[in-house]
């Protein structure tokens, strides 16, 4: 999670909402990402999407079976869907997102048994540090 937090800080430096993600396989980071929606003017440039894309390129496969993703913020529906579609084994996230969270807060996309894959979830990891980074960012905007 510390590496995901480092990615979130890179997003902050770029003027983005500070969310970071890393994909880990066998103890090695194979994908990194942080929010780049404003920089890229791309609504899909979320930390999770970018980390998953890098991991898939690195492995040469869209199937990230046995890999885990660490994210500083509870994934939105788009990212939760990408996590399921990438066949990630485990999702570890920090802060909860009461407005858009699609794992605990609003719904649970990644463990919906109607889908062809479900993901193990560990939530609230480094929650305070992840939430503080986001809260500080939004307080400065106001």
Give the whole-angstrom CA distance, residue 16 versus residue 78.
18
Q: Choose, from 48, 54, 74, 120, the residue flagged as catalytic.
A: 48
Task: Determine the 3-state secondary structure of 38 from DSSP.
Answer: helix
Q: Can 13 be counted among the known catalytic residues?
A: no
* Burial grade of 104 (CB within 10 A; 0-12, 13-18, 19 or more): middle
Q: 2-13 vs 47-59: helix axis angle to the nearest 10?
A: 120
- Catalytic residue annotation: 48
């Amino acid at each position: 999670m510390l590496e995901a937090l480092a990615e979130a800080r890179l997003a902050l430096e770029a003027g983005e909402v500070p969310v970071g993600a890393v994909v880990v396989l066998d103890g090695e980071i194979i994908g990194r990402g942080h929010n780049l929606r404003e920089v890229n003017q791309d609504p899909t440039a979320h930390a999770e999407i970018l980390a998953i894309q890098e991991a898939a390129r690195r492995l040469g496969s869209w199937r990230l079976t046995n890999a885990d993703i660490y994210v500083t913020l509870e994934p939105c529906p788009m990212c939760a869907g990408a996590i399921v579609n990438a066949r990630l084994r485990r999702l570890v996230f920090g802060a909860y997102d009461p407005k858009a969270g699609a794992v605990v807060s609003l719904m649970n996309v990644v463990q919906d048994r109607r889908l062809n894959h479900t993901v193990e979830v560990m939530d609230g990891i480094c929650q305070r540090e992840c939430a503080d980074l986001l809260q500080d960012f939004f307080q400065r905007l106001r």
